[in-house]
Structure 1
C-alpha cells in the first residue's frame, strides 16, 4: 500500500491558516499523511514577543503557546484534508485533555510538533498531540477542535 507523504513550507501554511505574526506558531510541515498524522516544526527564537515578559531573566516558552502550536498543526492536518476558504473558515479549540508539560522550551530550541488524528464525530475533530525538543517530549495533550464558517464582514 502506497501512502503519499506531503510536506510544505511557510508559503503553503499561510494559505491554509489565518494566523499571522506574532501568533503563527508553525514554520514548516515536515511530513503529512492525509487522514492520519502530521509532523511540523517551530523554530523558537529569542525574538518571540512572549519572551519579553516570560521571563525577562530566563526566557521560557509558555505552555499555552506550545499547545497553540500543536492546535495550529492539527488545523493544518484538517485543512489539508478538507477544502476551505481561509477568509471565512476558522478553527476553534473546544477542549484540551491530559495536557502535561515535561520539559521547558527555550530560545534556540526547535519544537517538533506531532499530531495524530483520532476521530471525527458531530463536528468535533479529536487528536493526540505531542511536542518534542531534541527527541524529548516537552508537552503532550489530547486536543478537540471544530471548524466554523464565519462572515468576514460581521
Structure 2
C-alpha cells in the first residue's frame, strides 16, 4: 500500500514545516512502514544547521523515522484517530550525514507491542543505500 502526503496527514497530526515524510512506499498496518523524505536545500533547518555546510540534524532524522512508525501503528483499525507519542529512543547511531539532494528511505518495523506501548526498529538510508541512522524507538498510543 502506498500513501501520498495528503493521505499521511489523514493518519498523523504533523504538518509543514514539521511533517518529515513525503510518501509511504510500503505499509503493513501495525507491522511495518517504509517512507521517503526528499531533502531539499529549502528545508527551514538548513538556515542555521549549518549556514556554510548544510546538514540535516540527527534529531530530525529520528523524527522522520518516528513519523513513519506512527503511520504504521496508527493505520491499525483500533488506533485510527489516535496519536502516537515518543516514549524513548535506544541505541541511536548516526552513520552518514544527510545533505540537500538526498532522498531518505525510512524503514520502521514494529518489533514489540503490549497494550498502548510498543517498540519500533528503525533504519534510514540515503539514495546510495548508505545507512544514515539506526535506532530503536519506544512509542505510546494515546
Same topology, TM > 0.5: yes
Q: What TM-score range do you get, normalising by the shorter chain?
A: over 0.9
Separation in 1 of the partners of 2:111 and 2:19? 24
TM-score, normalised relative to structure 2: 0.94
Give the alignment of 1:85-100 within 5 angstroms.
85=81, 89-100=82-93
Structure 1 unmatched runs, 5+: 1-5, 149-154
Question: Which of structure 1's runs of 4+ aligned residues deviate more than 6 A?
Answer: none
Structure 2 match to 1:141: 135
Residue aligning to 1:24? 19
Distance (whole Å) between structure 2 residues aligned to residue 135 and residue 75 of structure 1: 23
Of 39, 50, 55, 1:55 maps to: 50
CA RMSD of aligned residues (A): 1.0
Question: For residues 28 and 108 of structure 1, what CA distance do their matches in structure 2 show?
Answer: 16
- Equivalent residue, structure 2, for 1:84: 80
Report SS of the residue matched to 2:96. coil
TM-score by length of 1: 0.87
Gaps of 5+ in 2: none
Corresponding position: 1:68 with 2:49: no
* Secondary structure of the corresponding residue to residue 143 of structure 1: strand
Deviation at 1:43, TM superposition (A): 0.5
Partner of 2:124: 131
